[in-house]
Every structure is written in structure tokens, then in C-alpha cells.
């Protein structure tokens, strides 16, 4: 075998894996995580997950009043928690909110984008305004938040708990991969497909500044959004319970550790991916 003229030296430290424990790798102590759409639903559960492993949480939501669980989040953890009323569809408004967050928290180490809507309207009846609203919130809201978070991550000083960059996690959906049963959500499916593609592209583009980008595609999860849907269309409760091979609707508990994993050093070599947590629907349906 001929040896190339110049080679990059291999990082030869076979003991490196012994220096950090799983507990340490999953810690978010000292870090600040911004979560959009966390006034309720999945986003609020992610805020608990972050606080439970020591991270500070800045919540962005359109709601005037968050879910009652927010009070528990504020009072039960020894971390900083603050809610910002803002709109992810307005770049100027969101830019101002991110500025306030940096002033209040000093830095941004992670972002989770959970702000999203899912309207059920047949494709042929759907108006242009309705499609635009879904795209504005689900796609552009995700894009703007990622841009603002990454810009801050790129310029901030290194610290002991985060030497460089950060981690961005988009909440996509099983709807990005397979059509929804019993629902006509063409724009939602398209919007979540865009979110999965955006995570792939940004993971590559931002790797040079140490920013990792991934998405999570949940299947049916019990939240205020799905409860509202099932109240309106009662047959959906049956689909959401019996369609997944695991024969239950997902609980927000099922997503807490995956989100912490992606935000933390535990996933330091993981980028441009989509993690499917669906009870198996992405592989096959029982109904
Ligand atoms: N619940 C599920 O089964 C499920 C499954 C897969 C993916 N998802 C996705 O997870 C995300 C969260 O869903 P959820 O079930 O928690 O819904 P939810 O309605 O309970 O929460 C969404 C939050 O986003 C906020 N929001 C909406 N528009 C906003 C805007 N313009 N600016 C700021 N905040 C805004 C809402 O006020 C709300 O608090 C969504 O993107 C959804 O598509 C949900």
C-alpha cells in the first residue's frame, strides 16, 4: 500500500470515553434553551425536561396565558424560567424577543421549535390564507427561530459548560413521512416535510460553527392540540389509540429524554437527522 504525502493525524486517545459519564453527558446545567410554542402542549413538557436536567428555559408563545403547568415549572426547579409573548411568524417581533432573551439570560445554547398548528380541511376546499398561515407558523417560524438562535450561538464566548456552538431541535411530525389517516392535512404534511429537510440542510451548513441541527418526528401524542381534535372529530381518538403498532397514543413523557439527548453533549456526534418516535406507525399501521 502506498502512503499519501500528507495525512490528518488521528485523535488517538482510547481512554477518552472514560472521562464523561452518561449522567454528565445528559446534563444541561448552566445552558439556556429557548423553546417556541411552550406555553402548553409538547413544548411545555420539553421545558420541564430541560429544567429537570438543570437547564434554564426561555419560552416563546403567542398565548396570553400559559397552561397552569407553567406555574409548577417556575416554582419547582432551581433554574431560570421566563415566558415571552411573541409571534414566530413575524421576523421583526421574533428578533426583538431573541434580543430580550439574550439580555435576560446572557446566552442561547439550544433551541427547540414546537410552535405549530394543524388544521383539518380537504385539499380542494382549502383557501390560500389558510395554507399561508400553516406555512408561516410551521415553516417560516421554524426558519426564523433557527436563524436567530444560530446567529447568537456563533458569536457567544466559550464557557466551561458549552465551549462552542449549540444544538437546534425542530419538532416535525410523522405527517412528514406518511399521510395522516382520518384527517385531511395536506398543508401540515407539506410543512413538516419542509422542517425535516431544513434540519438536514442546516446540520450540514452549520457544522463548521459547531451548531448541530436535528428534528424529531412524533406520532400521535396526547396534548391540548390532540384533545381539541378528538373532541371535534371523535373517531380520531380510536385511530390515535389503535393505529400505532404499540396500541396506545404517545405520552409527552415519551419525548422528554429524546429532546434532552439531542440538546445535550450526549448527542455530540449526531446532526442532520430525524428521529421517529411513533409507537411504530412509520413502519406499519394496525388499523
Ligand atoms: N400533538 C401531537 O400529536 C403532535 C404530533 C406530531 C407533531 N406535533 C407537533 O408538535 C408541535 C406542538 O404541538 P402540540 O400538540 O403541543 O400543540 P399545541 O397547540 O398544544 O401547542 C402549540 C403551541 O404553539 C403556539 N403557537 C402557535 N402559533 C404560534 C405563533 N405564531 N407564535 C408563537 N407561538 C405559537 C400555541 O399558542 C401553542 O401554545 C407542533 O409543531 C405540532 O405540529 C404534535
Residue nearest to atom 40 of ligand 1 (CA): 116
267 part of the active site: no
pLDDT (tens, 9 = 90+) of the chain, 287 residues, equals 566 666 788 888 999 999 999 999 999 999 999 999 999 999 999 999 999 999 999 999 999 999 999 999 999 999 999 999 999 999 999 999 999 999 999 999 999 999 999 998 999 999 999 999 999 999 999 999 999 999 999 999 999 999 999 999 999 999 999 998 888 999 999 999 999 999 999 999 999 999 999 999 999 999 988 898 899 888 999 999 999 999 999 999 999 999 999 999 999 999 999 999 999 999 998 87
Alpha-carbon gap, residue 275 to 144, rounded angstroms: 22
| Ligand 1 contact, 100 CB (< 6 A) | no
| Ligand 1 contact, 137 CB (< 6 A) | yes
Fold classification of 22-277 (topology level): Rossmann fold (3.40.50)
Q: Which residue bears the cell 381518538?
A: 237
Count CA atoms closer than 13 A to 236's CA, side-chain side.
18
Adjacent-strand bridge partners of 84: 60
β-strands 81-85, 166-171 pairing: unpaired
Helix segments in the chain, DSSP class H: 22-25, 41-52, 69-76, 91-105, 128-134, 141-155, 186-205, 224-232, 235-242, 253-263
Q: What is the pLDDT of residue 164?
A: 94
Sign of CA dihedral 269, 49, 195, 143: negative
Residue nearest to atom 19 of ligand 1 (CA): 225
192 part of the active site: yes
173 part of the active site: yes
- Per the residue annotation, which of 27, 192, 215, 220 is the catalytic one? 192
| Ligand 1 contact, 42 CB (< 6 A) | yes
Q: What is the pLDDT of residue 11?
A: 85
Mutate to test the pocket of ligand 1, among 39, 47, 63, 116 (most ligand atoms within 8 A of CB): 116
Q: What is the pLDDT of residue 12?
A: 87
Among 225, 128, 149, 138, which Cα is nearest to 176's? 138
Q: What is the pLDDT of residue 3?
A: 62
Residue nearest to atom 23 of ligand 1 (CA): 37
C-alpha cell at 23: 449522567
| Ligand 1 contact, 221 CB (< 6 A) | yes
* Contact call for residues 217 and 274 (beta carbons, < 8 A): yes
Kindly list the domain boundaries of the chain, sorted by start residue.
22-277
Q: How far is CA 38 from the centre of its chain?
A: 10
Phi/psi for 85 (5° steps) reads: -80, 120
Alpha-carbon gap, residue 257 to 74, rounded angstroms: 20
Alpha-carbon gap, residue 48 to 66, rounded angstroms: 14
Q: What is the pLDDT of residue 144?
A: 99
Q: What is the pLDDT of residue 7?
A: 78
Q: What is the pLDDT of residue 286?
A: 80
Q: What is the pLDDT of residue 279?
A: 98
* Contact call for residues 36 and 90 (beta carbons, < 8 A): no
Alpha-carbon gap, residue 119 to 268, rounded angstroms: 36
Residue nearest to atom 21 of ligand 1 (CA): 41
CA of 142 from ligand 1 middle (Å) equals 12
Mutate to test the pocket of ligand 1, among 223, 229, 279 (most ligand atoms within 8 A of CB): 223
Amino acid at each position: 500500500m502506498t502512503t499519501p504525502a500528507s495525512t490528518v493525524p488521528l485523535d488517538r486517545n482510547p481512554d477518552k470515553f472514560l472521562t464523561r459519564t452518561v449522567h454528565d453527558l445528559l446534563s444541561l446545567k448552566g445552558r439556556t434553551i429557548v423553546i417556541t410554542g411552550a406555553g402548553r402542549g409538547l413544548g411545555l413538557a420539553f421545558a420541564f425536561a430541560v429544567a429537570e436536567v438543570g437547564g434554564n428555559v426561555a419560552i416563546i408563545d403567542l398565548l396570553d396565558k400559559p397552561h397552569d403547568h407553567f406555574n409548577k415549572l417556575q416554582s419547582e426547579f432551581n433554574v431560570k424560567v421566563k415566558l415571552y409573548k411573541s409571534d414566530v411568524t413575524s421576523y421583526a417581533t421574533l428578533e426583538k424577543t431573541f434580543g430580550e432573551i439574550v439580555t435576560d439570560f446572557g446566552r442561547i445554547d439550544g433551541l427547540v421549535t414546537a410552535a405549530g398548528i394543524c388544521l383539518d380541511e380537504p385539499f380542494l376546499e382549502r383557501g390560500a390564507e389558510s395554507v399561508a398561515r400553516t406555512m408561516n407558523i410551521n415553516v417560516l417560524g421554524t426558519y426564523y427561530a433557527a436563524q436567530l438562535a444560530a446567529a447568537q450561538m456563533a458569536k457567544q464566548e466559550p464557557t466551561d459548560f458549552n465551549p462552542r456552538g449549540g444544538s437546534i431541535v425542530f419538532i416535525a411530525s410523522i405527517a412528514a413521512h406518511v399521510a395522516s389517516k382520518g384527517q385531511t392535512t395536506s398543508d401540515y404534511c407539506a410543512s413538516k416535510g419542509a422542517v425535516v429537510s431544513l434540519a438536514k440542510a442546516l446540520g450540514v451548513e452549520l457544522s463548521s460553527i459547531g451548531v448541530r441541527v436535528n428534528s424529531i418526528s412524533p406520532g400521535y401524542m396526547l396534548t391540548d392540540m390532540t384533545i381539541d381534535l378528538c373532541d371535534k372529530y371523535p373517531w380520531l381518538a380510536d385511530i390515535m389509540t389503535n393505529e400505532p403498532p404499540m396500541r396506545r397514543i404517545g405520552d409527552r413523557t415519551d419525548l422528554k429524554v429524546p429532546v434532552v439527548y439531542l440538546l445535550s453533549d450526549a448527542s455530540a456526534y449526531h446532526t442532520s437527522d430525524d428521529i421517529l418516535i411513533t409507537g411504530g406507525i412509520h413502519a406499519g399501521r394496525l388499523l
